[in-house]
Amino acid sequence: MSVNTASLFCNLVRMPSPSGKELNVAKFIKAYLKKSGMDSYFDGSGKKVNSSSGNLILELNGTGPTVMFVSHIDTVETGDSRITPIIKGGKIISGGDTILGVDNKAAVAALISALVELKKDRNHSNIVAVFSVREENGVMGIKYLKPRRHIDYAFIIDGSMPVGTFMTKALGQTPFEIELNGKQVHSAWAEDGINAMKAAGIIISRKRLGRHHDGSYVNISGVKSDAQINIVPGRTSLLGEVRGFTDRSISMRFSEIEKASKEACRLTGSTYSIIKKRSEGAPPFNMRSNTGILDIAKKAANNSGVEFKTGEVKGTTEANMLSKSGYPVIIMSRGGSMPHSNSESIRIEELDKLKELIISISRCAK
Ligand SMILES: [Zn+2]
């Protein structure tokens, strides 16, 4: 028996699974796999990331190296209104007033279909399939993943580029706060005070914001001060974030922020400290080129008849977390269009291509 991936996808999107409330969908997947003769288990990450469910993990024996596929099961909807998928002209769309959930249930459906197919023989690598929680919001469940087996190659299935596109980089993100200290006085005694807001203004005007030549970004998003209007603020903070494809690029942006802060404080008499909130952000993902994972991706794409391409991601992804933990990892696109919107859709043909590509990777990696 082989799975009708489109109808499995429709069943999956009818079940709400906002971040943190994935248990119903996870149980459905577990039961579905069981029905096909495959036993899966939950890891203990649910408690750590404040979700009703941990990551659901399935191991399938084959030969040779172990390939891990990861597909998150949460979606961005609140779960308040039900999703009604509609099949129209070879395409699946939402009833109109909700998202569809292509991100990432298309990947979930394709992965399950592929597993059912792969289960039939051993002509494939060893496989670990992870149905992960909380990708869209909060601390990612994948951060706490501890597979029982050594993983040789990890494929994150996500993203709306065409199937066959593999992403080798994703921006890392470090939130920051620049704390500025002057001297607080009554506004009518301003000559005795130091207005910390002035330094904040100088930093904003001098530090280049937005995109930099190496694809990194600096954003300042907020100014924090609790002074009343009759107070010269003695303390203020600037809030923002730096994004970059490498640690080096992120630290270069921070040295520029440091320089602008130093200059602003020299001009105004304030002092500053920069707080980097690394644990609230994500490390950059930059695929190591010597792992062989790209060769497998290329060969598998050719074998399954999809056009092989590479790309990069501007958001932070599960690959950011996994590569930090030392896994040889790459992101493979799931397809579909207009994620996170009511116009989200996917062609049935794309679902089938994705399934074939997963199967092909498992065969090529052997
Ligand atoms: Zn996603």
Q: What is the tens place of the pLDDT at every residue in 38-66? A: 999 999 999 999 999 999 999 999 999 99
DSSP, collapsed to helix, strand or coil, labels residue 112 as helix
User: Cα of 329 to ligand 1 centre, how many Å?
Assistant: 16
Residue 247 pLDDT greater than 80, yes or no: yes
| pLDDT of 77 | 79
User: Cα of 212 to ligand 1 centre, how many Å?
Assistant: 26
How many whole angstroms separate alpha carbon 18 and alpha carbon 288?
33
24: which DSSP letter? H
User: Cα of 331 to ligand 1 centre, how many Å?
Assistant: 11
User: Cα of 332 to ligand 1 centre, how many Å?
Assistant: 11
Residue 235 pLDDT greater than 80, yes or no: yes
Q: What is the pLDDT of residues 64-112, one digit of tens each?
A: 999 999 999 999 877 778 899 999 999 999 987 899 999 999 999 999 9
User: Cα of 325 to ligand 1 centre, how many Å?
Assistant: 20
| pLDDT of 288 | 82
User: Cα of 159 to ligand 1 centre, how many Å?
Assistant: 6
Q: What is the pLDDT of residues 2-52, one digit of tens each?
A: 789 999 999 999 999 999 999 999 999 999 999 999 999 999 999 999 999
Amino acid at 206: R
User: Cα of 158 to ligand 1 centre, how many Å?
Assistant: 5
Residue 226 pLDDT greater than 90, yes or no: no
User: Cα of 361 to ligand 1 centre, how many Å?
Assistant: 20
Residue in the block written with tokens 């002092």: 271
CA dihedral for 357, 315, 173, 169, sign (positive or negative): positive
User: Cα of 162 to ligand 1 centre, how many Å?
Assistant: 14
Set out the domains of the chain in order of their start, with CATH numbers.
5-170+284-364 (3.40.630.10), 179-280 (3.30.70.360)
Q: What is the pLDDT of residues 181-221, one digit of tens each?
A: 999 999 999 999 999 999 999 999 999 999 999 999 999 99
Q: What is the pLDDT of residues 286-323, one digit of tens each?
A: 998 778 999 999 999 999 999 999 999 988 899 999 99
User: Cα of 109 to ligand 1 centre, how many Å?
Assistant: 14
Please name which of 227, 193, 225, 221 lies closest in space to residue 209, comparing C-alpha atoms.
221
User: Cα of 73 to ligand 1 centre, how many Å?
Assistant: 9
The pLDDT of 171-186, averaged and rounded, is 97
User: Cα of 314 to ligand 1 centre, how many Å?
Assistant: 13
The pLDDT of 241-254, averaged and rounded, is 97
User: Cα of 201 to ligand 1 centre, how many Å?
Assistant: 37
Q: At what angle do helices 23-35 and 102-118 cross, to 10 degrees?
A: 20
How many whole angstroms separate alpha carbon 196 and alpha carbon 226?
12
- Contact between residue 230 and residue 243 where contact means Cβ atoms under 8 Å apart: no
User: Cα of 70 to ligand 1 centre, how many Å?
Assistant: 11
User: Cα of 138 to ligand 1 centre, how many Å?
Assistant: 13
| pLDDT of 92 | 94
User: Cα of 288 to ligand 1 centre, how many Å?
Assistant: 23
User: Cα of 36 to ligand 1 centre, how many Å?
Assistant: 26
User: Cα of 195 to ligand 1 centre, how many Å?
Assistant: 44
The pLDDT of 330-336, averaged and rounded, is 96
User: Cα of 102 to ligand 1 centre, how many Å?
Assistant: 8
| pLDDT of 1 | 65
337: which DSSP letter? B
Residue 233 pLDDT greater than 70, yes or no: yes
User: Cα of 160 to ligand 1 centre, how many Å?
Assistant: 9
User: Cα of 235 to ligand 1 centre, how many Å?
Assistant: 40
User: Cα of 40 to ligand 1 centre, how many Å?
Assistant: 22
Per-residue pLDDT band for 325 (boundaries 50, 70, 90) equals confident
User: Cα of 338 to ligand 1 centre, how many Å?
Assistant: 12
**Dihedral-angle region of residue 90 (phi above 0 means left; psi in -120 to 50 means alpha; beta otherwise):** left
